[in-house]
Chain A
Amino acid sequence: MATIRDMIAPFELFQPTSIGDAVALLGEHGADAWVLAGGLDSFDWFKDRIKRPGVVVDLGAVEELRGIRASGGGLEIGAMTTLTDVELHPDVRARFSILADAARHVATPQIRNQGTLGGNVAQDTRCWYYRSGWPCYRAGGNICYASAPKAMNREHCIMGASRCVAVNPSDTAPALIALDAQMVIQGPEGERVVEAKDFFIGPGIDITRMTVLEPGDLLTAIRIPDTWSEATFYYEKVRDRNSWDFSLVTVAAALRVEGATIGDARIAVNGVAPHPVRLQHVEAYARGKTRDDDNGRQAGELAIQKARALRHNDYKLSLMKNLVRRAIRGMEA
């Protein structure tokens, strides 16, 4: 069977208008159903004819999935809220600016107008071996092409690999982890709430999924508790060009700083592992330390202690180390 790309294969389209209907449809069609949010990830797959769901459930018409509301001292953001809305929302900007910052770093304005926060956290990896439709582990096969001795893996992981060495591409994920966000999921058995750091799973657990979402599950909202409201934030995404580019390494940190001393901290990294990584050992190190370059360097070294480079991504060790250093030290040297 010859291959052809850039031509979406036919599918059955459902456009429910309520969460209930959407969940019912997903339950009915099981693994054959594909959840369509902004479509930025989905349509790439569809156009390439690599993923061919029989049924697509488009959430575009589910109004209750959109919007940002106050909730328990924090905020609840509907999963279908666009990244532009997240970026521009006054409460997000005033209290959780790291999330606005993260949303602003996604792709391009056009993509942010269409892309959603839920879609951004639930998106699939951009490993180009996998995206080429090759039968790798993540695609249900038995090989990781990206970890071969001469493979092209400058954008792949330096930690957390298990057979698959792809990385999670989400720009908002590390910010959400740094904010102790919670993911609200509607499944066949009702609602469950998962901590952001546990929402993302590595290939060791399930090599074909990036998150805990299973067929039938729907991410409905993301809750930001008030824990880190108006904290000191650091967010830096390093990429090859300044727009429409996935991250090489991103570090997001929320710090409670008193004087020059760090009280408590949350530090999360993306682009280095198949899932965003919360650096709890670095957080522990940072507690009670002053924000200076020495402590930054120590924290950076600590962060990459267990990292191991592939053929072409040794630079990610330096990059992660330096970004963590900046998170602790601050941008100024």
Chain B
Amino acid sequence: MAEKLIGTDIAPPDLVAKITGRAKFAEDFRADGMVFAKLLLSPMPHARVRNIDASRALRMEGVIDVLTAQDVPEVEPPREPVLSNEPLYEGAPILAVAAVDETTAAAAIEAIEVDLEPLPFVLDPLDSLRPGGPDAWTQGNVSGREGFQSLKWTEEDFARMEGGHLPLGEPLTEWSKGDVEAGFAEADVIVEESIVHQSLTHHPLEPRSTMAYWQNGKLFCHTSTQSTAVTRVALAGALGLDPDDVVLIAEFCGGGFGSKISGTTHMQVPALFSRKIGRPVMLRVTRYEESYIGRARPGFQGWVKMGLRENGRVTAIDLYIVQDSGPHGAGDYNTAGSITDLTYQPENMRFRGVPVLTNTPPKSAQRGPGGAQIISMLEPIFDKAARQLEMDRLEIRLLNAPGHDATFGPQDASLTSVHAREALERGAELFGWAEKTSLSGQRNGPKATGIGIGLSPFTAGNRGFDGLLIIRPDGKLYIHQGIGNLGTHSMADTARAAAEYLGYAWENVEVVWGDTSRNLPWSCVQAGSMTTHSHTRANRAAAEDAKRKIQEIAARELGGSPSEYEVDDGRVFRRGRPAQGMGLGQVAERAIALGGRYDGHELPDDINRVTVVAAGNVAGQGLMGVARDNYGGEGSIYSWVAGFALVELDVETGVVDIKEYCGVTDCGTVLHPRSLGGQIFGGSIQGMGMAMSQRWVFDPQWGVPFAKRLYTARPPGMLDVPLDLKWDAVGIPDPQTPVGAKGIGEPPVGAGAAAITSAVADALGGQCLCRTPLTPDIILAEIEGRRTFGPLEQHVG
């Protein structure tokens, strides 16, 4: 019996290369005649280019050419163009210069005169909603199905601001279920708060660098991306190419956090530039540029009203989110509405939202988009209600957390499996909640202890993608993965679903990934924490297809019926008669001889065209397993993390020291424990940074961001991580997926953030600051009664 692969710690195949520095990331590639591109960024938050004079730059020795907005594909506003003559944020690329080296390219940028006409700009969504407030686009400040609109609220709406509350003007989106007013009427306790969640740059360690060149009409592109198969299609689509004419090479990715899902907008720069000048072009994006074009999580200004019955059950939630959507939009606010409904299961719910376009760097999904923000904001408010009801905070969560039969969101979606309560219970046990409740609010000198809980769900799967694998005459199993290598190990770990099913020892498995010329099947985007779920399924489907073919070949060669054959340890053999069998290498040879569907010359007709081409290219090389995930399923796929934290808050300095954290997940079957622990810790720590330190700051006069260096943006460092870190998993398989595994990348962020916001509020005696980041100034100002910013003010750092 071959080793068990699922649920064990196996180092991924790219590990040594990464640790030794031999891994080649996009910027490490070179090509003959390659030149370097540099971007010219807009100095103004909103402007119109009146004239570009590049003549002096073009006369400089070593300068090749300039790429401007005229040279890039047009897109429908508010979508983001590659280069623009109407930059919509400070740092928006206006043009690129190519030169023989970067020093020359930089000097060339400085020699270019761009005549810009400043246009009105807005940073804070509420400023844009004020009567007569500025719009981020000349066309308006919100963009919906009916196009742009200039949405303004009334002075009466803004009167609520005086009391520190979010104005509740006309929303762009609204849904409700039940009767929220009736729900409040039934409530014994009502809590109501306005909230502010900052925007946050993604800051992946690897910036979005790209090198591209053209050969024989094909585009070869080395880039930093979360996905692979999808990124190729996205790049082809953006450039109007047939995906077959794009070779995308992305073996490694130094992090994306949602900012490089299907590649990046600016990966088009080298591709377009290379086509224009006929030479390979490298765009090495610097940290400074990355902070502008590298995407950010949208900030929220919101208001929530929550009603609870005496027994702790939530009767109603009324939630309003104003989202800072950046210039090109983002969907977090909608997700926030659904996640709220999912997490607290209110009997009645209303959600309203306005995503406001602003002249700030572009937003996109960031690890747990919408969910992480809203959970970190709502958990301390939920605590406040529990405190008023004199209920234990764990108990009130157990009471309201959804079960398997739960539904949520505007469409009352069902779920495949929910073990939130088990996660809470296991977490409480691991953390020692019962013993630690006595520490809540305890003072030791100037240090006040606080404990907190964050329960955070996020999407964790998808269905219907393709698996492709080949057993070659060498007997090895080659599993082709069209998913990316984001650093989550799912590129290798999801292959286990196929390997284990086929009884393979891991050393006989080769994972093929990261280069579309290596024939990769159609895959999901490496986002929404969906890869583990989607591709354990797709690979299992391909493995099942392979196994059937192996059994058929064995029966054909050795007699009997296919169902009498088992596959294990690189052999196929008759059940109960292990000697009657053959090696899978031999089977592969037979498959090649047989041809047809055995070696990929005939393919299923329900697989994606991308998979058809990939499989066609490797047909005849061995026994092919190829299939679409047709397992089906009912309901949304969500994973959960229950986070528990203990903090010490110094009331004389406002400094919070996170002493303990533990996160317990419900993500179905555990595929790779060590990697799962890494995801829970990594995501939770990212959430702690979100709650405690990471920031965006703009000068309101000039519309220019300041936190564009890592030291000013302040993502958490090693010393901000508690020494006492624990994790665990409920480990109950999802019944609707063959391996039982769901994704995990995103839910820990909300759990980590919320456990901290909840614990800080606890240390402050139940006082919710209802904003992030909880830096010492904000906490100390609260303690000492010195407010240094407006109640709903964004970007104050």
Q: Which residues of A contact B (CB under 8 A)?
A: 1-7, 9-10, 48-49, 108, 128-129, 132, 145, 148, 150-152, 154, 236, 238-246, 248, 309, 311-319, 322-323, 325-326, 331-333
Contact = CB atoms under 8 A, between A and B. Distances in A.
B719 interface: yes
Contact of B786 (A241, A246, A315, A323): A315
- Summarize A's interface: helix, strand, loop or mixed: loop
B70 interface: no
A71 to B, nearest CB: 34
Interface string B697-714: 111111010100011101
B789 A315 contact: no
B310 to A, nearest CB: 39
A9 B704 CA distance: 24
A73 to B, nearest CB: 36
B711 A6 contact: no
A314 B712 contact: no
A312 B714 contact: no
Given A1-B110, A4-B110, A248-B777, A319 B699 contact: no
A2 B109 contact: yes
Given A6-B286, A238-B653, A314-B781, A243 B699 contact: no
A150 B106 CA distance: 34
B781 A245 contact: no
A332 B720 contact: no
Contact of A241 (B113, B717, B780): B717
Residue among B111, B699, B795 with max Cβ neighbours from chain A (10 Å) = B699
Given A2-B40, A4-B40, A312-B796, 15 more contacts: A2-B113, A4-B106, A5-B288, A7-B286, A9-B106, A132-B706, A151-B699, A152-B699, A239-B776, A243-B719, A313-B777, A318-B781, A318-B783, A331-B445, A333-B445
A325 B653 CA distance: 11
A315 B654 contact: yes
B788 interface: yes
A1 B113 contact: yes
Contacts of A315: 654, 776-778, 780-781, 784, 786, 788
A134 to B, nearest CB: 8
B740 interface: no
The 4 closest A-B CB pairs, nearest first, are A6-B286, A242-B719, A243-B717, A322-B652
A151 B704 CA distance: 11
A318 B699 contact: no
Contact of B777 (A4, A148, A151, A154): A154
A242 B688 CA distance: 13
A145 B706 CA distance: 13
B106 A241 contact: no
Contacts, number: 145
Q: How large is the interface on B (under 10, 10 to 19, 20 to 34, 35 or more residues)?
A: 35 or more
Nearest to B52: A2
Interface string B647-663: 00000111100000000
B718 interface: yes
A246 B289 CA distance: 23
A311 B114 CA distance: 35
B309 interface: no
B191 interface: no
A318 B778 CA distance: 12
Nearest to B57: A2
Interface of B: 38, 40-41, 43, 102-103, 106-107, 109-114, 286-289, 445-446, 652-655, 692-693, 697-702, 704, 706, 710-712, 714, 716-720, 773, 775-778, 780-781, 783-784, 786-789, 795-797
- Summarize B's interface: helix, strand, loop or mixed: mixed
Residue among B706, B777, B778, B797 with max Cβ neighbours from chain A (10 Å) = B777
Nearest to A242: B719
A332 B444 CA distance: 9
Nearest to A243: B717
Nearest to B653: A238
A318 B650 CA distance: 13
A241 B717 CA distance: 7
Contacts of B714: 240-241, 245
A207 to B, nearest CB: 20
Nearest to A311: B788
Contacts of A332: 445
Contacts of A331: 445
A319 B650 CA distance: 11
A242 B102 contact: no
A292 to B, nearest CB: 14
Contacts of B653: 236, 238, 319, 322-323
A326 B776 CA distance: 17
A301 B289 CA distance: 45
B699 A6 contact: no
A7 B40 CA distance: 13
Given A154-B788, A238-B776, A333 B446 contact: yes
16 contacts: A2-B40, A2-B43, A2-B109, A4-B40, A4-B106, A7-B103, A128-B706, A152-B796, A236-B653, A238-B653, A240-B775, A241-B717, A243-B718, A319-B780, A325-B652, A332-B445
Nearest to B721: A242
B227 to A, nearest CB: 27
Contacts of A108: 717
A244 B717 contact: yes
Contacts of B107: 9
B628 to A, nearest CB: 45
Nearest to A6: B286
Given A128-B712, A242-B720, A318-B781, A7 B102 contact: yes
B788 A242 contact: no
Contacts of A7: 38, 102-103, 106, 286
Contact of A4 (B38, B702, B710, B787): B38
Contacts of B789: 312
Nearest to B704: A132
Contact of B109 (A4, A154, A314): A4
A244 B720 CA distance: 11
B545 to A, nearest CB: 50
A325 to B, nearest CB: 7
Contacts of B795: 152
Contacts of A333: 445-446, 652
Residue among A128, A145, A151 with max Cβ neighbours from chain B (10 Å) = A128
B84 to A, nearest CB: 15
Nearest to B94: A2
B699 A314 contact: no
Nearest to A333: B445
Contacts of A128: 697, 706, 712
A316 B720 CA distance: 22
A319 B446 CA distance: 13
Contacts of A309: 788
B788 A148 contact: no
A10 B102 CA distance: 12
A240 B113 contact: no
Contacts of A5: 286, 288-289
Given A1-B111, A315-B654, A322-B652, A151 B701 contact: yes
B91 to A, nearest CB: 10
B689 to A, nearest CB: 8
Given A152-B706, A315-B781, A2 B699 contact: no
A154 B775 CA distance: 11
B103 A241 contact: no
Residue among B653, B719, B796 with max Cβ neighbours from chain A (10 Å) = B653
B697 A152 contact: yes
A242 B786 contact: no
Given A6-B287, A132-B706, A238-B776, A314 B717 contact: no
A316 B446 CA distance: 18
A156 B776 CA distance: 15
Contacts of B787: 314
A106 to B, nearest CB: 12
A38 to B, nearest CB: 15
A9 to B, nearest CB: 8
Nearest to B786: A314
